Amino acid sequence: MHATVQVGLADRSYPIWIGEGLLGQPDIWRDALRPGRPGRVVVVSNEVVMPLYGQRVLDALGSLGCQTSQVVLPDGESHKDMASLMKIFDHLMSEHVDRSATVVALGGGVIGDMAGFAAACYQRGIDFVQVPTTLLSQVDSSVGGKTAINHPLGKNMIGAFYQPRAVIIDMTVLKTLPPREVSAGLAEIIKYGCILDADFFNWLEANMQALMAGDADALAYAIQKSCQIKAQVVAADERESSGQRALLNFGHTFGHAIEAGMGYGAWLHGEAVGCGMAMAALLSCQLGQLDVPSFKRVVALIDRAGLPLQPPAWPAQAYLDWMAHDKKSAAGAIRYILLKGLGQSELRPVEDALVRLAIEASQKGLASA
């Protein structure tokens, strides 16, 4: 049994399947592949995930008569670069993979982004299927068709919008996920409650202990709810043309600056986002549009998820310089996702002087801000 969330994009709509033990089910894979094309499947994974779960994927595909091969990349955000992308292209070219093939992204957000970008580019686009194996990728990066690699000057600055044929979320893989990765995934889950759904935020406050403990029912609800929220936003604003999808980047403007400045991989993406959400909530409060009790609730929930609250002690101008490369910047102005209340958010520019105050207050400790 599994739950299904549909991403509604007309003829590019696709399902998100959520359940236990899905990776080894041939019927799931038959539905994920284009009808009449069992053919060639290239599994892209990393050196941590492939030994754990790769064989059950290959066996399920093999039972359908698929011809499979694999690309195993180094693990970590620091390898989300052009060199790793070229390794995927090298394999596709050397194996004479044609445009009827399917790429399977088996891994976390790094693998999903790179494999999806490779699929978008190879022969101008071949099918791919997302199989996220971290909590963060299950609730965020695997859904919505954003694919990219990093550049030394900015995160995810080189990429494409390219939707998968399906997303297969097997909750069994979370049993091998380190606690630090669980916390990183919870950052993206908390984000949805902050920006769009106050009732979900309330639920997270009541169930954070269960989520941290790996309770299967709590995780299943949080994953499904997060995917539903993101699917609705993506269906309404696939390419961020109206600004609605940009709200999903709450905390990311500050968080991406932390990742770039620290060096990709020093902080997990979710850790940087968690800290960035606290910074954005503080800025919202200092601007007078988020009340103090709500601000404290946001910070307390981030803290309970085991996420950092205090950003690196760089000069505020260094943050502004990194954030100037953010994709949400427009006409030279950095735009921020800010809270107007729990479950309410907006995208807007803020004067640099006010942002500096928020950065410096965050560095001193949010409790004293």
Active site residues: 124, 146, 188, 230, 240, 245, 249, 252, 256, 269
Contact 255, 154 (CB under 8 A): no
Closest CA to 110 of 134, 128, 89: 134
3-state secondary structure of 264: coil
The whole-angstrom separation of Cα 299 and Cα 362 is 11
Which strands sit side by side in the sheet containing 40-46, from one edge to the other? 2-7, 14-19, 166-170, 127-132, 102-107, 40-46, 67-73
228 vs 220, 263, 327, CA distance in Å?
Answer: 12, 32, 24
Q: Which spans in 65-172 are helix H?
A: 82-94, 109-121, 135-136
What length does the chain have?
369
Closest CA to 248 of 141, 158, 137: 141
